[in-house]
Amino acid sequence: DTAVSQTPKYLVTQMGNDKSIKCEQNLGHDTMYWYKQDSKKFLKIMFSYNNKELIINETVPNRFSPKSPDKAHLNLHINSLELGDSAVYFCASSQDKGTSGGIYNEQFFGPGTRLTVL
Amino acid sequence: RKEVEQDPGPFNVPEGATVAFNCTYSNSASQSFFWYRQDCRKEPKLLMSVYSSGNEDGRFTAQLNRASQYISLLIRDSKLSDSATYLCVVNVGNYGQNFVFGPGTRLSVLP
């Protein structure tokens, strides 16, 4: 009955490889996100999708491409991995305030994917 | 100026102490505010939303001052289990959500 799940939990790979991280939420939320938490523990938003449409696309390299096949899934594909991509990547979801009627819409986070690029 | 700033910490306090965390935000159009807690090697989890009139949840009290763009969290009677990093979060979105996280303040409650 996990609310937000991510796979894999750990990912160790070589520089230059292409990898994907999958995220699924069973909360019925219509907004999903990807965050990156680097070694300094700063949590920074990368992308936000609302009903499968890209809403926020922060300044991230275009090697990172999110894909949302439906509103319960938001996958992250990374091409040509670099050492600096090593971090923990968190998926999250929330309910858009327009449909929930309130402004206090918390985010629910997945357990994170620890990516190590060698 | 960063969008959300917090006390740098770390805070090391004895059990039973009262500790207060401060947070400031730069976007005056920010609409909703939260405190999240993140344990070591875990995901962030909501501790409490912050309401305009201030709110309390057990030992935790949150305050919001929109004029000063300032948020606070007070923890009374600290427990060992309160040791974590506390993240101030501001939603600056008008449509959809744009949550901006502060850098976090690390709290260690010592026996």
- Chain B interface includes A28 (CB < 8 A): no
Mean pLDDT score, B76-100: 87
Tokens linked to A19 = 């990898």
Q: What are the chain A neighbours of B95 within 8 Å (beta carbons)?
A: 55, 98
**CB contact burial B11-40 (16+ within 10 A = b; e otherwise):** bebeeeeebebebbbeeeebebbbbbbbee
Q: Which of B100, B106, B103, B90 is nearest to B31 (CA)?
A: B90
Cα separation, A48 vs B36, in Å, equals 19
pLDDT tens, position by position, B19-61 = 999 999 998 888 889 999 999 999 999 999 998 888 999 999 9
Q: What are the chain A neighbours of B101 within 8 Å (beta carbons)?
A: 35, 42-45
Mean pLDDT score, A1-24: 94
- Chain B interface includes A59 (CB < 8 A): no
pLDDT tens, position by position, A92-104 = 998 876 554 455 5
Nearest Cα residue in chain B from A6: B43
CA distance A70 to chain B (A): 17
DSSP symbols for A73-117: EEEEEE-S--GGG-EEEEEEEE--HHHHS-S----EE---EEEEE
